Amino acid sequence: MIDDESRKTKRFERGLRPTIRSRILALKLQAYANVVERTLIIERDFEEIQEISGKCNKDKLTNKSKRENEYESSNKRVKTSRF
């Protein structure tokens, strides 16, 4: 039974994304349930980071566009007529 759980755990670990696998392997967990639990926690953390990162990138793009528009509008030449 222990051998089956160990195989199941190793197989599960091999199927993980490398970024998650490296974190799980560092914990040296033995029980399959513990590996699954920690994997879910790490995945949620990655999702939160991506969500925050996506919002920051969106804000940067939005702010850049505003700055570019302000710059362009301030540098427009005013046409004057010569007499």
The torsion defined by the Cα of 67, 68, 69 and 70, in degrees rounded to 10, comes to: 50
pTM exceeds 0.85, yes or no: no
Q: Would you give the DSSP letter of residue 31?
A: S
Per-residue pLDDT of the chain (83 residues; tens, 9 = 90+): 668 999 999 999 999 999 999 999 999 999 999 999 999 999 999 999 999 888 777 766 666 666 666 666 666 655 566 65
**pLDDT on residue 53:** 86
C-alpha distance from residue 33 to each of 5, 13, 14, 38, 76 (Å): 10, 12, 15, 9, 65
Domains in the chain: boundaries: 2-73
